[in-house]
Amino acid sequence: MGALIEDVQFTQRIEFPAKAENIALAEKLIDEACQKHNVHESHYGNILIALTEAVNNAIHHGNRLDPSKQVTLGYEVKGEKIVFVVSDQGPGFDFNSLPDPTDPENIEKPHGRGVFLMRALADSVEFSDNGATVAMAFSLQPVKE
């Protein structure tokens, strides 16, 4: 376990079956968390995109759209950061050897951008449970001009 995931005391946490329409539940939690903790609007889009990718991956790739499997989404505010954690009940994946979506031979492929986007948008990203859990930290401070 890395530093982000250790001792997470969830401020709020939800679980839902791995069904595509449940992405709406994740979006609602993200909206509520960002409002409650005054996340600056300059970060909101990055958080929404990165977490939507993570939850979609959990539903589609991790749990393979099996509604008997759960996706967990939670967050904790730690100092000047908000840390979101997404977990699924799938086998995980090798998050260190993903194809580079910016490589010309991969540009046309519809998959493989999620983790790349998460790493680009979050301040830090950490995987555990063989990739079945991802934690992403975002600053609560406004982006400096």
Span 45-84, pLDDT tens digits: 999 999 999 999 999 999 999 999 999 999 999 989 999 9
Is the separation of the CB atoms in 14 and 55 below 8 Å?
Answer: no
Instruction: State the residue range of the domain holding 128.
Output: 12-139
Dist. CA 44–CA 31, nearest whole Å: 9
pTM over 0.75: yes
Number of domains in the chain: 1
Does the residue 2 lie in any domain? Answer: no
- End-to-end CA separation in angstroms for the chain: 34
Is the separation of the CB atoms in 88 and 108 below 8 Å?
Answer: no
Does the residue 123 lie in any domain? Answer: yes
Beta bridge partners of 16: 71
Does the residue 78 lie in any domain? Answer: yes
Residue 141 sits at φ, ψ, to 5 deg, of -80, 145
Which has more confidence, 136 or 9?
Answer: 136
The structure tokens listed for 29 are 């939690």
Distances (CA, A) of 91 to 19, 47, 60, 114, 136: 17, 25, 12, 18, 20
Does the residue 43 lie in any domain? Answer: yes
Does the residue 102 lie in any domain? Answer: yes
Does the residue 132 lie in any domain? Answer: yes
pLDDT digits (tens, 9 = 90+) for 99-131: 888 888 888 877 778 899 999 999 999 999 999
Does the residue 4 lie in any domain? Answer: no
Does the residue 68 lie in any domain? Answer: yes
Residue 81 sits at φ, ψ, to 5 deg, of -125, 155
Residue with tokens 């589609």: 60
